Amino acid sequence: MSWWPFGRKKEEQPPWLNAYLKEARKSIPGIRKIQQLSFVVLDTEATGFDPKKDELLSCGIIGIEEEKIKISSSKEWQFASEKSPGKSATIHGLIHPKNPIELKTFCQELLGNLRGSIIVGHHIGFDLDLLCKTFQPFGFNQFPNPKIDTMNLAVRLDFGPQVDWNRVRKEDYSLDALCEKFNIPKEDRHTAGGDAFLTAQLLLKLLKQAEKKGILTYQELFR
């Protein structure tokens, strides 16, 4: 237990983390059709909106394979937070976790589910920053998987890839607004699982739009 942080990072990583990193770093061939891509839609709820300060309360994921939402792949984890729930808790209505689990188990399970999939989420950056921070004790610092932010995807489909962000009204691209636009009933909103499910339905609909615009492959999707 030295305070000296350099020189022995890699060796400290447990094998399950290595297995994940190896798979997540694999590159996906650019010509792969969207239908063949596997996605994992992820959402977290936290004690607040600052990934540096706030803590993870719950996390939900659901997988999409061959453009089908697989309910069997849906998972939800709840945590006991030491920090008293702040501002965000009033939105999520989460105070007492139902079924708290150990952090390590969670990390192993989550990464086992992510593997080589594309990670999808609405404002996914926030969720991943929060998870990275949470997983720091295991020497984890980044998700190498390709990522899609459904908000960016929706904006891109409306404005094209060279979007001038000043012209975009952000509130039109909130999860709520998009659910309304795409006629997705906002059920179980502000639960990690519920939001992940909504985002998954949103992704299906966005991908259909994308296909209509000639975005058919992995490289076109990520251009």
From 8-16, 30-38, 173-181, 196-204, give the range in contact with other proteins by CB under 8 A.
196-204
What's the min distance (Å) between Cβ of 137 and other proteins? 25
Instruction: Pick the closer one to other proteins by CB: 84 or 183.
Output: 183
For residue 165, CA distances in Å to 10, 61, 158, 159, 193 come to 39, 29, 12, 9, 30
Binding mask 72-101 for other proteins (x = CB under 8 A): x-xxx-------------------------
* Rounded to 5°, angle at Cα 20 from 18 and 25: 95
What's the min distance (Å) between Cβ of 21 and other proteins? 26
From 9-17, 26-34, 144-152, 192-200, give the range in contact with other proteins by CB under 8 A.
192-200
CA distance 176 to 192: 14
Binding to other proteins (CB under 8 A) within 110-139 occurs at: none
Tell me: does residue 57 bind other proteins (CB under 8 A): no
Residue 124: count other Cβ atoms within 10 Å of its Cβ. Answer: 22
CA distance 201 to 195: 10
